[in-house]
């Protein structure tokens, strides 16, 4: 009897200790935040596949639609593995002011119980992986119809490690020098959009224009696909921006609200200016405007109020229309799907206006309108550093790839289309 009582008491003590541990873990792990971050991660992944794939696929000619979708999908797969092998560690471990270390290479040390703040580190790693996926995938739109598939894969692998991971570390990790300077980039205006936009511009300059550029019509193959892609991007962007709060709270709610306002304002602004200058409002135009607004509000989404979001949206719609039409034509570069014109320029507009409209009541930092003029210089500094490192790194990587395996497809392949020549498939 005594033995049974002893065993019962031991069992009760074990249960009590287990309950105490569970209570402690419950206090550390925020189940609501974790649920929201799991959802946000899925939303951001949806932005690339199928969002970017459809958005880009509809804008190219029929003979290249499958090649563009293949490039986006393959980039998603390759970038995921690069992030596991070294990207996450280089971006999100202490290291130094310029780049993280390799302490978490191959996701070493990632455990079931490990936390990043109030969410599992595995969820934080996956959320950031989706950003590391979409950034190089966006670059694809600048060089469609003319880059070799093998060259594209090598470029994306090296670019993710040499350009993306260090810039993410600079801006988003406490040891990064731009983070310590106080830069405001809530969800990737510099890290994602300026980065991808500048890389896209360098790519199209190094590769040169498409065969027939300027002398033949290169009309979109299927704008229905583009609109579906735009809609998926818009919905996914709520995970992109509101998810960057890494919490299910009021700041996430405000980020979602200002995202919707800016996207709608930019779409309307682009539509109206196109209507006035060209006589007809186009579906491609309003879709491009919405993306411009989403890009511009990305750095500001956790720092501004609805009034600021409205101005950011209107400004980005107008400026990105100008850059994607007048500026590109004036300078003569063949940025096929306006990666620089929308993402690069839109990211710059958003980053600068974040320094103007940041509200201390939202993100804890005041902007120019609340008396903090220095924030505008900090935002400018982040733009210059991001654009400079990205331009240099992208150029060097492209030249090395060109010297080793070659960048551009043969003229016959480009003339006939990459779908059949490279992938052995065609759209019926």
Cα–Cα distance for residue pair 377/226, rounded to 1 Å: 37
Neighbours of 297 (CB within 10 A): 34
Q: What angle do CA 348, 131, 391 make, to 5 degrees?
A: 45
Cα–Cα distance for residue pair 112/249, rounded to 1 Å: 25
56-98 confidence digits (pLDDT tens): 999 999 999 999 999 999 999 999 999 999 999 999 999 999 9
Q: pLDDT value at position 220?
A: 94
Cα–Cα distance for residue pair 337/159, rounded to 1 Å: 20
Q: What angle do CA 158, 184, 203 make, to 5 degrees?
A: 30
The rounded percent of the chain whose pLDDT value lies above 90 is: 91
pTM value is 0.92
Q: pLDDT value at position 17?
A: 39
Cα–Cα distance for residue pair 127/247, rounded to 1 Å: 13
Q: What angle, 0 to 180 degrees and rounded to 10, lies between the N-to-C axes of helices 149-159 and 121-139?
A: 130
Q: For residue 301, name the pLDDT band (cuts at 50, 70, 90).
A: very high
316 or 217, higher pLDDT: 316
For the chain, give every domain's residue range: 2-423
Q: Is the pLDDT of residue 287 over 90?
A: yes
Average pLDDT of 288-308?
Answer: 98
Instruction: Say which residues have a Cβ less than 8 Å from residue 137's Cβ, sequence separation at least 6.
Output: 48, 52, 72, 75, 76, 79
Q: Is the pLDDT of residue 188 over 90?
A: yes
Q: What angle, 0 to 180 degrees and rounded to 10, lies between the N-to-C axes of helices 345-357 and 195-207?
A: 160
Q: pLDDT value at position 24?
A: 40
> Do 362 and 304 contact (CB within 8 A), yes or no?
yes
109-128 confidence digits (pLDDT tens): 999 999 999 999 999 999 99
Residue 118 is given by DSSP the state: T
Q: Is the pLDDT of residue 240 over 90?
A: yes
Q: For residue 27, name the pLDDT band (cuts at 50, 70, 90).
A: very low
The rounded percent of the chain whose pLDDT value lies above 70 is: 94
Q: Is the pLDDT of residue 13 over 80?
A: no
Q: Is the pLDDT of residue 18 over 90?
A: no
Average pLDDT of 259-279?
Answer: 98
119: helix, coil or strand?
Answer: strand
Residue 211 is given by DSSP the state: T
Q: For residue 10, name the pLDDT band (cuts at 50, 70, 90).
A: very low
126-178 confidence digits (pLDDT tens): 999 999 999 999 999 999 999 999 999 999 999 999 999 999 999 999 999 99
Strand ranges (E), 64-210: 115-116, 119-120
Q: What angle do CA 307, 234, 272 make, to 5 degrees?
A: 60
Q: Locate all alpha helices (DSSP H) within 208-344, ordered by sequence.
A: 223-242, 250-278, 283-297, 306-322, 328-331
| CATH architecture of the region 2-423 | Orthogonal Bundle (1.10)
| Cα–Cα nearest to 226, from 425, 48, 53 | 53
Q: For residue 326, name the pLDDT band (cuts at 50, 70, 90).
A: very high
């Amino acid at each position: 009897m005594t033995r049974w009582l002893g065993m019962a008491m031991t069992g009760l003590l074990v249960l009590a200790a287990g309950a105490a541990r569970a209570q402690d873990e419950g206090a550390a792990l925020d189940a609501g935040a974790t649920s929201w971050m799991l959802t946000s991660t899925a939303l951001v992944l949806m932005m690339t596949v199928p969002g970017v794939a459809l958005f880009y696929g509809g804008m190219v000619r029929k003979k290249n639609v499958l090649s563009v979708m293949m490039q986006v999908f393959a980039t998603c797969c390759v970038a995921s593995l690069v992030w596991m092998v070294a990207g996450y560690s280089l971006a999100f471990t202490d290291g130094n002011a310029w780049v993280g270390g390799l302490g978490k290479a191959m996701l070493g040390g990632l455990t079931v119980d490990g936390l990043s703040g109030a969410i599992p580190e595995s969820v934080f790693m996956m959320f950031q992986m989706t950003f590391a996926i979409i950034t190089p995938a966006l670059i694809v739109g600048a060089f469609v119809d003319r880059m070799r598939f093998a060259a594209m894969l090598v470029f994306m692998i090296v670019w993710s490690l040499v350009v993306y991971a260090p810039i993410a570390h600079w801006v988003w990790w406490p040891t990064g020098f731009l983070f310590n300077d106080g830069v405001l980039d809530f969800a990737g205006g510099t890290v994602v959009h300026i980065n991808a936009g500048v890389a896209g511009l360098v790519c199209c300059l190094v590769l040169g224009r498409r065969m027939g550029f300027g002398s033949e019509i290169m009309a979109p193959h299927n704008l229905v696909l583009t609109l579906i892609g735009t809609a998926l991007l818009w919905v996914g962007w709520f995970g992109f921006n509101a998810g960057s709060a890494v919490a299910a709270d009021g700041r996430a709610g405000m980020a979602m609200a200002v995202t919707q306002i800016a996207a709608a304002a930019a779409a309307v602004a682009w539509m109206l200016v196109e209507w006035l200058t060209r006589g007809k409002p186009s579906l491609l135009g309003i879709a491009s405007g919405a993306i411009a607004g989403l890009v511009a509000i990305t750095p500001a989404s956790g720092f501004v109020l609805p009034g600021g979001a409205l101005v950011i949206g209107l400004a980005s719609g107008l400026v990105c229309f100008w850059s994607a039409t007048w500026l590109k034509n004036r300078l003569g570069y063949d940025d096929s799907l306006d990666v620089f014109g929308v993402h690069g320029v839109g990211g710059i507009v958003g980053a600068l206006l974040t320094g103007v409209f940041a509200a201390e009541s939202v993100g804890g930092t005041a902007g120019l309108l609340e008396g903090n003029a220095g924030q505008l210089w900090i935002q400018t500094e982040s733009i210059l550093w991001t654009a400079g490192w990205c331009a240099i790194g992208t150029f060097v990587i492209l030249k090395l790839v060109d010297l080793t395996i070659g960048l551009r497809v043969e003229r016959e392949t480009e003339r006939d289309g990459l779908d059949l020549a490279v992938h052995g498939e065609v759209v019926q």
